[in-house]
Structure 1
């Protein structure tokens, strides 16, 4: 298996991520659950606020342990999840990791598919699996046109030193401020030295954002209706990055066509309050592996099985409320 990574180095930034019981269950199946638990911060409460009126909506107590005594809800740096997965890949002889290899297009030829790379190279294989980061490869492609999402989300993210936050947020729970067409989420990260802060605008109509750096002024301009208290939290952030993600569609989307498959956000966008897409990526990867094992030596049948096999994503009310 050849893994084509568009970035020049195989690493992750310091952005934060929320981990729910289903995430840990999937990580356990991949053999890295305990490694991620050791790096994460257990959280026991989630709070929802009205982002316009500043009134509390509700507080949910989160179970901190599963029946087996392991962490149930937690936060982590993305790097804390990425590194255990990356180390597991390095240990597999069948996996070859290729950084600085951005896929910009593809073409199917008989029993193979050719991926075109940004630097002019091409790679030929039996199948091409596109992750959420490569969703632009099929966007605008007539073969996938009926799956085009009706809207885009704009997600702005930063990490803030905890000493810059007001005292009542320094030991506070995971919190989400919800407004019409937007939401803001923040939570402490492991060692409680930093707060992860993200704010999402639904129905984004501007330029596509791909991890671009943005100024605070641009972030504030995207949320003119935000309430005073939520705005105060927002203005604490400074080093912002922004992404666009596809919005959710009304029905099930095609996840494979011919020798090409989509996983993570490329296959099914996350819920409005769940911008990280971690659970989607893990569930889709395991689902694809199950389909691959189910059909021997027939790539088209394997991908067709994956297309019809809906991901096993257990409902999680706390996660649906909390966001990423």
Structure 2
């Protein structure tokens, strides 16, 4: 099949690798002129590495990541410790089981995997703004007036906006949103107690703050998530520290001090989970954040992007070239991530 993938972020490239490795002809339509990735750091758990292994890039990501050995949970209001979980080491050859990485450390191995697949074609400067189904095909309309035709269209990440206002894609319940603020701090500006190889999460009633060191230990990734966001949608907007602190008026003194270490902040809004939202209709499917919004305590959405790509590839194996059947199977069988206590804020001492 000829598959159009709208979005060249992590979820788009993971989808291209999963499908291109199975012999499908994949066109990745990316709106930016250069294929790259930014954003805050990410945490990687055993399940993430297993998914990356299935995509053939697990070892490449391990080489670029930083192993973390402990997960701490703090009460964000009182500042008191809640619990500590020792994170197990990887099995065999010192392979990381729990680690941190820059988002680029996952993106670049996926990009290289795409380059190595003759079936994958990367198309920058190609922003998808709409789509039309025509019997046995679907046409993606691009911002510059071009149209690209394929057997199926996969909308990844921010490309979900193409169907944002289409009521056929929404569940019955209104979608809540969360605001995720993130920054990266030079380690010389970080208090000594947060410079070890641990990940820490401060938990409040409707918010949490998480931080952990990044590879080479020169930077600390810091994020703060406000659940049930009521403001406008944001997509990487720059905000100052005062704006961040105003979003967390009830935060305790110790957690507030952690936030004040950050200066160059960005914020984006992400939808909350809804059980009845559609992932596929006809020859069009959603993947990544648009289809499986990240759990509030896993705001990067990496797990959902990888799981969706792997699931989409597996669903296509039995479709025999029938794109609507393939995407319907993906919609039906796409499972929610299984909980894994040490990977999330709120993990206590075991």
Please indicate, yes or no, whether the TM-score normalized by the shorter chain is above 0.5. yes
Output aligned runs, 1:235-254, within 5 Å. 235-249=260-274, 251-254=275-278
Answer yes or no: is 1:231 the counterpart of 2:256.
yes
- Name the structure 2 match of 1:265: 289
Output aligned runs, 1:142-153, within 5 Å. 142-146=167-171, 150-153=175-178
- Name the structure 2 match of 1:298: 322
Alpha carbons 1:149, 1:247 under 8 Å: kept = no
**Cα distance in structure 1, aligned partners of 2:200 and 2:126:** 37
**Cα distance in structure 2, aligned partners of 1:119 and 1:175:** 45
Output aligned runs, 1:141-220, within 5 Å. 141-146=166-171, 150-171=175-196, 173-220=198-245
Answer yes or no: is 1:27 the counterpart of 2:52.
yes
Residue 88 (structure 2) aligned to one of 33, 42, 63: 63
**Cα distance in structure 1, aligned partners of 2:288 and 2:234:** 18
SS across alignment from 1:321: coil
Per-residue deviation, 1:227 = 1.1
- Name the structure 1 match of 2:149: 124
CA distance 1:207–1:30, shift in 2 (3 Å): same
Please, which runs of 5 or more residues in structure 2 have no aligned partner? Answer: 1-25
CA distance 1:312–1:152, shift in 2 (3 Å): closer
Residue 50 (structure 1) aligned to one of 66, 70, 75: 75
1:260-301 Cα deviation digits (max 9, x unpaired) = 101111111111100011111111111111111211121111
1:57-87 Cα deviation digits (max 9, x unpaired) = 1111110213564210000001111000000
- Name the structure 2 match of 1:283: 307
- Name the structure 2 match of 1:86: 111
Per-residue deviation, 1:12 = 1.2
Alpha carbons 1:149, 1:246 under 8 Å: kept = no
- Structure 1 window deviating more from structure 2 (73-82 vs 62-71): it is 62-71
SS across alignment from 1:96: strand
**Cα distance in structure 2, aligned partners of 1:129 and 1:311:** 18
Alpha carbons 2:133, 2:283 under 8 Å: kept = yes
Per-residue deviation, 1:305 = 1.0
Aligned residues: 322
- Name the structure 1 match of 2:12: none
Alpha carbons 2:170, 2:278 under 8 Å: kept = no
**Cα distance in structure 2, aligned partners of 1:55 and 1:322:** 13
RMSD: 1.7
1:232-258 Cα deviation digits (max 9, x unpaired) = 111111111111111012x35321111
SS across alignment from 2:317: helix
1:22-78 Cα deviation digits (max 9, x unpaired) = 000000011110000000000010001111111111111110213564210000001
Per-residue deviation, 1:102 = 2.1
Alpha carbons 1:174, 1:322 under 8 Å: kept = no
User: Which TM-score applies when normalising by structure 2?
Assistant: 0.88
SS across alignment from 1:203: coil
Per-residue deviation, 1:148 = 6.3
**Cα distance in structure 1, aligned partners of 2:244 and 2:126:** 31
